[in-house]
């Protein structure tokens, strides 16, 4: 599915915006101000939650891995990739309800496989969320033949993971590939030869900052 041609608000938010705007207007029309206020606050929350800012890619970096999600880095560790069953460097980003929840592809390449796993809804900042929560995983093969796994993980209040790309699809760097409602995380599994460019606790912006660098053959 091609990247949609607009920014500012994610398309997933329009039904919520229309609903809360209508309820606010109806309540105000009938002078039910005590009821209009909560709907108006929900409208404001939806506007900030579903925002989809346009972000130009950072300056070119050979082997660069783009940040796939807004949020805070909560893990940088060597683990076993549960999808490709290989030793990997995992970088995890936690998104709270005030972060942008549009997800962007960290590398350019072909989607080799996609997995959806139903699961629990633990707080996404917990380590066990990577293994036990509902999640959607993509196996990306980069243009120079390196494997990258990017995993959308549902959180405590997240109840829907959306993914727009399918196996066999050729994708570009920074392409919007999904959305998670409401709090959640994204795990990225890289080859062990990759070099992290971020640190624990750092806040990142999806599509606008390099998160790691893959080893590039001379």
Q: Please, are residues 213 and 173 in contact by the beta-carbon 8 Å criterion?
A: no
Report residue 22: phi and psi, to 5°.
-65, -45
Compute the C-alpha angle 53/146/215, nearest 5°: 85
Question: Environment class of residue 166 by beta-carbon count within 10 Å: exposed (0-12), middle (13-18) or buried (19+)?
Answer: exposed
Catalytic residue from among 125, 184, 193, 206 = 184
Q: How far apart are the C-alpha atoms of 204 and 215, rounded to whole Å?
A: 22
- CA 138, 52, 91, 62 dihedral sign is positive
Residue 170 annotated in active site:
no
Structure tokens of 19? 């609903």
Catalytic residues: 184
């Amino acid at each position: 599915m091609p990247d949609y041609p607009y920014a500012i608000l994610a398309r997933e938010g329009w039904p919520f915006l229309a609903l809360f705007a209508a309820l606010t207007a109806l309540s105000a029309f009938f002078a039910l101000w005590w009821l209009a206020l909560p709907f108006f606050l929900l409208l404001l929350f939806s506007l900030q939650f579903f925002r989809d800012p346009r972000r130009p890619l950072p300056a070119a970096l050979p082997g660069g891995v783009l940040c796939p999600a807004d949020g805070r880095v909560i893990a940088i560790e060597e683990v076993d990739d549960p999808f490709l069953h290989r030793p990997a460097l995992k970088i995890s980003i936690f998104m709270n309800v005030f972060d942008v929840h549009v997800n962007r592809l960290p590398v350019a390449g072909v989607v080799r496989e996609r997995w959806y796993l139903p699961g629990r809804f633990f707080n996404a900042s917990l380590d066990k969320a990577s293994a036990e929560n509902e999640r959607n995983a993509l196996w990306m093969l980069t243009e120079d033949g390196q494997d990258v796994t990017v995993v959308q993980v549902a959180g405590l209040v997240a109840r829907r993971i959306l993914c727009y790309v399918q196996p066999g699809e050729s994708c570009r760097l920074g392409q919007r590939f999904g959305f998670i409602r409401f709090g959640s995380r994204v795990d990225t599994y890289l080859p062990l030869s990759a070099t992290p460019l971020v640190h624990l606790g750092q806040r990142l912006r999806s599509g606008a900052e390099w998160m790691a660098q893959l080893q590039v053959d001379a």
